[in-house]
Structure 1
Amino acid sequence: MRVLHLFDWYLPSTLSWVGRLLLHLQHAEVAAPWIVRNQFYHSQLRFWQFPLQFPGMLEPGSEWEFPSWQRLFARSQRFFPSYRWWLEQQLRHDPPDILHAHFGPTGCLYLPLAQKLGRPLVVTFYGFDYEKLLNRRPVFRRKYRQLFAGASRVIAASPTGCQALEALGCPPEKLRVVRPSPDLALFPFCSKNKLPGELNLVQVATFTEKKGHLTTLEALKLALSSCPNLHLTLAGEEQDKSLVRRLKQFMRAHNLEQNVRWLNPVPHTEM
């Protein structure tokens, strides 16, 4: 069975588990207007690369290369879906068995393609797309109702997610739970000798409000009175610049800079 996985771009490090899941699927294909040749670009996957992402010129090895082009290719598709039109021409004589869109807006964008190809559309929601996005762009409430009517299956990561999608109008019989999970084989247990009176902590997460970085720093400030040799490492993509500024201001105000190390995103292989 051929399944075409659809993204607005492939693949941000925050969706690392998606990249690993694709490796366990047979005949998986990836379509996105912007494709990054990072650790998730696997030779066993078939990629439908947009010719406008000029081969040999715009082939980034990380998600931080060519950021302006990345935004242009991904965001422009909402208003001028040139990649979807191109993809339809490539697939119309040999369409995949299933189209699987990752994130609600991607599902909205590619529902017309699934209908033209006469193939079922599966959509996976990840949280941002049915929570924060709806406050920013309420128009998606209407678009989601159209998506729920046209999609064959709607997936969430938890029963709570399914409840939220049902409240938005998704028929309950279309909802299923598929829980994302890390590959535990990448994180083998290794014993360590902890020195008395010392403690090293690590928080790896994208810098957004819901990840609780400020709460972590507040807890660190309180704990230092009883454990002065406590150190914290924060690693992740600085997505929310305003939050990052507030965190650094908090660190300066409470003299935490000597106890906190700040890193960029760290690949799993280097954890």
Structure 2
Amino acid sequence: VENIIIHRTGQEWYERIIKTFRDWLGGRIQRELIYNKFYYNALKKVRPQIVHIYFGAPGLLLYREIRKLNLPLIVSFLGYDLSQLTTALGEDVYIRNGLFQNGQLFTVDGNTAKERLIALGCPPEKVYLLRVGLDLKKYKYKIREKNNVKPVKILFCGRFVGKKGLLIAIKSIAEVIDRGYKIIFTIIGYGPLKEKALELVEKLNIKQNIKFLGMLKQNQFIEQCYENHFLIAPSQTDVITGDTETGIPTVILQAHATGMPV
């Protein structure tokens, strides 16, 4: 695809942006941020027919600049912006700051997210359910047959944050090992709970059963799907931040596309 300009922020941008919002909405810094001016000038130069923003937080920051240019706005809500952000800044953050009133369409990837967005004040007629899709041509479906192979190889892939349930997964694996089953648990990802995860593995004395691979590219994750027997994705609501899954994690779809049980 030609004529696409990509501006990508860092991996931990969501934590920094929440702090920025606290200051911005509290009136401690000027609303005319360099961030806004950069995108305003870029949009003015490109003159797109539609602006599509991923996540509600950037939508809050930028919708005023988009409105100045009289451009239609679509915002896709994808998780933390329906839970962690509203816990930190208030359930009425999108109504209070005018995003729902000024956007033309708001997409979500699941019914839970749709219900949540409407509960936050978004007009139902502006909410569109946009499912996550995969290009199945990129995946080779391999039927997994039940056998007595040992050890059983289990895979986890996700950010090391509360809502992904990594610590629950590690504890569960330890219980299964204690019952005499031979398990190899491979963990893909990164995040703020890494040290806690390492400490838990050490405490439960299952270090020999655990492999931390760190961050991998998508094709490397797919390779791991073929090398392991099944994927676990024990999502939960983070009791501290309120962050939760509002749609199906993409890794579940990708694992299924390879024929891997989840």
Matched letter for residue 109 of structure 2: A
Alignment of 1:255-270 (within 5 A): 255-270=205-220
Matched letter for residue 175 of structure 2: L
Offset of residue 192 of structure 1: 7.6
Alignment of 1:63-78 (within 5 A): none
CA distance in 1, matches of 2:215, 2:45: 41
CA distance in 1, matches of 2:134, 2:156: 16
Count how many residue pairs are aligned between Structure 1 and Structure 2: 210
Offset of residue 156 of structure 1: 1.0
What is the match of residue 258 of structure 2? none
CA distance in 2, matches of 1:80, 1:159: 36
Residues 207 and 244, structure 1, Cα contact 8 Å, conserved in 2 = yes
CA distance in 1, matches of 2:134, 2:127: 23
TM-score (norm 2): 0.69
**Cα deviations by residue, 1:33-78 (Å, 9 ceiling, x for unpaired):** xx47xxxxxxxxxxxxxxxxxxxxxxxxxx57xx89xx69x95996
- Matched residue SS, 1:92: helix
Distance 1:88 1:249, change over 3 A: closer
Query: Which of 210, 230, 242 lines up with 2:183 in the alignment?
Result: 230
What is the match of residue 151 of structure 1? 103
TM-score (norm 1): 0.66
Matched, 1:98 2:65: no
Matched, 1:202 2:152: no
Residues 230 and 259, structure 1, Cα contact 8 Å, conserved in 2 = yes
Alignment of 1:80-119 (within 5 A): 80-92=32-44, 95-119=47-71
Distance 1:192 1:93, change over 3 A: closer
Distance 1:214 1:142, change over 3 A: closer
Offset of residue 228 of structure 1: 4.0
**Cα deviations by residue, 1:187-235 (Å, 9 ceiling, x for unpaired):** 3234689763321111111111111112211221121144543110111
CA distance in 2, matches of 1:116, 1:269: 41
Matched, 1:170 2:105: no
Which protein is richer in strand relative to its size? Answer: 1
- Matched residue SS, 1:234: strand
Residues 233 and 263, structure 1, Cα contact 8 Å, conserved in 2 = yes
CA distance in 2, matches of 1:94, 1:196: 57
By relative contact order (CA 8 Å, sep 6+), the higher-ranking structure is: 2
Matched letter for residue 149 of structure 1: Q
Unaligned runs of 5+ in 2: 25-30, 222-262
